Amino acid sequence: MDKILQYLKKHGESLDADINEAVGISLDTAHTYLSDFASEGVIMTYQSTRFQDGKKIEGIRCRLSGFVPRMVLMCLKKENSGVSCFFDQTAKATRMIAPNMTTPAVA
């Protein structure tokens, strides 16, 4: 289902429950598609356990295989132009700083 792949491309790594809700399909149907995509190598998945407000939430985290966000590609292309890039662990985002920028751009 193309909607799932488009969602992952737009939102990056996501939980299966978020994907099925956003795409408008049942969780069982989402698991079928995600399993097929993973076996084809289109996406990567792993089991995830997290706690939110003391509640245990288990699911499958998914991301596109080999997908490099646009900002990272821009950083790589501008490597020799004075642009510096770094991964901000707190924000979980790639940031790019050009010589004339006062605020970092976020991927």
Question: Which residue shows structure tokens 């790589």?
Answer: 76
Give the domain ranges of the chain: 2-64, 70-106
Residue 104: the pLDDT is 45
Better-predicted residue by pLDDT, 83 or 59: 59
**59: which 2 tokens?**
């699911």
At 13-24, the pLDDT tens digits run 999 999 999 999
Distances in whole angstroms, Cα of residue 85 to Cα of each of 37, 42, 46, 52: 31, 27, 28, 31
Report the distance separating Cα 36 and Cα 2, nearest Å: 13
Q: How confident is the model at residue 66 (pLDDT cuts 50, 70, 90)?
A: confident
pTM summary value: 0.60
Round the average pLDDT of the chain to a whole number and report it: 76
Decide: 68 and 43 in contact? Cβ < 8 Å.
no
Q: Residue 61's Cα: distance from chain center in Å? A: 10
Residue 79: the pLDDT is 52
Report the distance separating Cα 62 and Cα 71, nearest Å: 20
Single-letter residue type at 63 = R
CATH architecture observed for domain 2-64: Orthogonal Bundle (1.10)
